[in-house]
Amino acid sequence: MTTLPYTQSAWRLSDLSQGTPEEIEALFQKLETQTQEFEALRPVLTPDISAETFLDLIGKLERITEEAYRLYGYAGLSFSANTQDQNALTLVGRAEQFLAELQNRTLFFTLWWKGLDDQNAARLMQSAGDYTYWLEEMRHLKPYTLSEAEEKIINLKNVTGASAIERLYETYTNRYTFKLEVDGEVKELTRGELMVYVRGADPDLRARAYQELYRVYGNDGAFLAQMYQNLVRDWYNENITLRGYKSPIAVRNLANDIPDEVVDTLLEVCRQNTAVFQRYFRLKARWLGMEKLRRYDIYAPVARADKTYPFDQAAWLVLDSFRQFDPQFAKLAQRVFDHQHLDSEIRRGKRSGAFCWSVNPRLTPWVLLNYQGRADDVATMAHELGHAIHSMMAQDHSIFTFHASLPLAETASTFGEMMLVDRLLAEESDEAVRRDLLFRQVDDSYATIQRQAFFALFEKEAHEMVRQNASPDEMAEAYLRNLKDQFGDSVEVSDEFRWEWVSIPHIYGTPFYVYAYAFGQLLVLSLYRQFKQEGESFKPRLKQILAAGGSQSPERILQNAGVDMRQAAFWQGGFDVIAELVNQLEQIPLP
């Protein structure tokens, strides 16, 4: 197997800052100077402002935003690399406070723009170029915008309110260690290390790994639930009571520029297709020689294919799978390695999981992995590098328009995973490994679509329960019912899973983010089927979606690619692909 000369290491942040006290102070001072200059231009904001002056103002705000993202990117990435680093934590807090104040000082521009009459707004947007959609989106928020004084109070309140609770949750839970006996030896593990065992071949070890995970989270369940309840109350107080949104999820939908009815349709189609995955879980139980799967077993391998992939081999596999689809994809992904913007090491205190952080259009994104050599880890590498490719494909846009909206942000990442699986299946001669890969495709579809959709359904219920003053135990019971709704009688769910929801960072930090995964996966399943049918002629459409970034509405971007997201039939098409895969698996004779 070919490899590449890449080794696991921490990332390099010097493209953002050397991190010296002098340079950090200089960044703060530069932002202060730029902001003062911008504030001095407030008097030019009149209805008859010239297009030239207007664009010059936006350019100045863009440069302030780029420097702000650079500062916060350095702070946030440093903290993610070591959540127990007191200097990093202090810098994050200072940066959040400073940037909230900066946002308040530049708030006058966005408030003026939202309040401008339609005729002059249309006149100025005629020459706004790449900024047009960003400007349109701001005006969509006009009905939910408060006075300048109120908006300033909210910005400052968030620093010591919601943002502080999110940071506390992240810092507190990243300190957790888990004890698991493996081969007679008790190991002390991070969450990432523990999760290796929930996908292992040993059913007893799977059960004990899950039990340990939710023992630790469950011991703090009431405490973590209180954090969540306060974040939910804050979300309601600001967005429903003050701003006037009609529901908690409507806030996210408008931020994503996805109509409420589209999200309702998506979640309802997911609810209606529980039978597809229940059928799969019954099939998997037969393969595992079990009468019924336990919740511990849903990601279990169907064959003892404990194949591992050294990091350099994984890098080659991922990049080569991108290259076979399109050389541009591989070239962009390789930049992340070559610029040392990838942190893949396993370290105590490092943030668990994986992410891609695109700081600005002119910088190669940073990717965090916790790489341990499993097939899942290789797929995660492909996924996060897909995010990086998406950002770099959109690098010609401004900092206001290069980030894809959340529902489209999973397009390249999920497509990247599917390209990798195709590659692994094409070259794998071991039937046990091939079978395991096929089953993992459906496992991953469950994890990305159905699991996330039911998280979103739980969030909708949880936000209402907090309004009704439900206790942590009552919310845990509601979550257990949620699990039983999605699994039916196909999976046995044990009681400790009632605390799974307090272990999901997204519902704390970004309410209702999770439906974006289901949106993105079902979208990509349909797109990938088109690719298989059309071959080369399909590729320009995918590139067009990625290169658009966030410069148009998701609906417009998808319409240009021939997709109507308002139709339930479109979302059902994604489930039909999964059902076809389950059909294929049912045709494989049991060993």
What does the pLDDT read at residue 306?
A: 67
Tokens for 135, please give them: 């400007």
With the C-alpha atoms ordered 408, 325, 440, 318, is the resulting torsion angle positive or negative?
negative
Q: How far apart are CA 408 and CA 391, in angstroms?
A: 12
Cβ neighbours for 222, distance < 8 A, ≥ 6 positions apart: 472, 473
The reply to whether the predicted model has a pTM over 0.85 is: no
**What pLDDT, in 10s, does the model give residues 84-129?**
899 999 999 999 999 999 999 999 999 999 999 999 999 999 999 9
Contact 497, 546 (CB under 8 A): no
| Vertex 361 angle, CA 356 and 362, to 5° | 110
Helix (H, G, I), strand (E, B) or coil at 140: helix
- The candidate with the shortest Cα–Cα distance to 313, out of 411, 423, 430, 433, is 423
* pLDDT tens profile 26-49: 999 999 999 999 999 999 999 999
Helix axes 431-445, 411-427, angle to 10 degrees: 160
At residue 386, the pLDDT reads 96
pLDDT over 80 (residue 432): no
- Find all residues with CB under 8 Å of 510, minimum gap 6, and list them: 252
User: For residue range 555-580, what is the model confidence (pLDDT) as tens digits?
Assistant: 999 998 888 999 999 899 899 989 99
Look at residue 406 in the predicted model and tell me its pLDDT.
Answer: 83
Taking alpha carbons only, the member of 82, 104, 103 closest to residue 92 is 82
* C-alpha closest to that of 270 among 515, 508, 548, 588: 515
| The two structure tokens encoding residue 457 | 């359904």
Give the separation between CA 523 and CA 571, rounded to whole angstroms. Answer: 7
Task: Tell me the per-residue pLDDT of 505-559, one tens digit each, with 9 for 90 and over.
Answer: 999 999 999 999 999 899 988 888 888 888 899 899 999 999 999 999 999 999 9
The pLDDT value recorded for residue 159 is 86
Phi then psi for residue 293, to 5 deg, are -70, 145
Q: What is the 3-state secondary structure (H, E, C) of 186-220?
A: EEEECHHHHHHHHHCCCHHHHHHHHHHHHHHHHHC
Q: How far apart are CA 486 and CA 222, in angstroms?
A: 25
Q: Please, what's the b/e burial string for 535-558 (b: 16 or more CB within 10 A of its CB; e: otherwise)?
A: eeebeebbeebbbbbbbbbbbebb
> What is the rounded distance in angstroms from the CA atom of residue 258 to the CA atom of residue 266?
11
Q: Cα separations (Å) of 103 from 96, 231, 266?
A: 10, 21, 34
**What sign for the dihedral angle of Cα 443, 449, 453, 455?**
positive
Average pLDDT over residues 134-151: 94
Whose CA is closest to 301, among 131, 107, 433, 496?
433
Contact status, residue 336 vs residue 388, Cβ threshold 8 Å: yes
How far is 497 from 586, CA to CA, in rounded Å? 29
Split at pLDDT 50, 70, 90, the class of 2 is: low
Which pair of structure tokens corresponds to residue 455? Answer: 């998280």
184-198, 307-321, 345-359, 491-505 — which one is most confidently predicted on average? 491-505
pLDDT band at 407 (very low <50, low <70, confident <90, very high): confident
Task: Look at 112 and 438; give whichever has higher pLDDT.
Answer: 112
Mean pLDDT value of segment 424-447: 83
DSSP letters, 93-162, are: HHHHHHHHHHHHHHHHHHHHHHHS-HHHHHHHHTT-GGGHHHHHHHHHTGGG---HHHHHHHHHHHHHTH
Residue 343, both tokens = 């942190």
In the prediction, which pLDDT does 584 show? 86
What is the pLDDT, as a whole number, of residue 1? Answer: 52
Beta-carbon count within 10 A of 177 CB: 13
Residue 419's CB: how many other CB atoms inside 10 A?
23
Tokens read off for 235: 């979300």
Q: How far apart are CA 305 and CA 303, in angstroms?
A: 5
Count of CB atoms situated within 10 Å of the CB of 170: 18
Strands 185-189 and 355-357: unpaired
Q: Is 591 exposed, middle or buried (0-12, 13-18, 19+ CB in 10 A)?
A: exposed
User: What is the β-pairing status of strands 366-368 and 342-343?
Assistant: parallel
Residue 294 reports pLDDT greater than 90: yes
E strand or H helix that includes residue 185: strand 185-189
Residue 134 confidence class, pLDDT cut points 50, 70, 90: very high
d(C-alpha 350, C-alpha 80), whole Å: 6
Contact between 109 and 45 (Cβ < 8 Å): yes
Residue in the structure block whose two tokens are 């409420």: 260
- Give the pLDDT confidence of 225-243 residue by residue, as tens digits: 999 999 999 999 999 999 9
Looking at residue 160, its pLDDT comes to 87
**End-to-end CA distance of the chain, in Å?**
29
Q: What is the DSSP letter of 464?
A: H
For residue 219, is pLDDT > 90? yes
Partners of residue 186 on adjacent β-strands = 181
Q: Rounded mean pLDDT of 321-328? A: 94
Task: Provide, for the chain, the percentages of residues in helix, strand and coil under a 3-state DSSP scheme, each rounded to the nearest 5.
Answer: 70, 5, 25
Q: How confident is the model at residue 282 (pLDDT cuts 50, 70, 90)?
A: very high
Mean pLDDT confidence for 406-429: 86
How do residues 46-92 score in pLDDT, each as one tens digit?
999 999 999 999 999 999 999 999 999 999 999 999 998 999 999 99
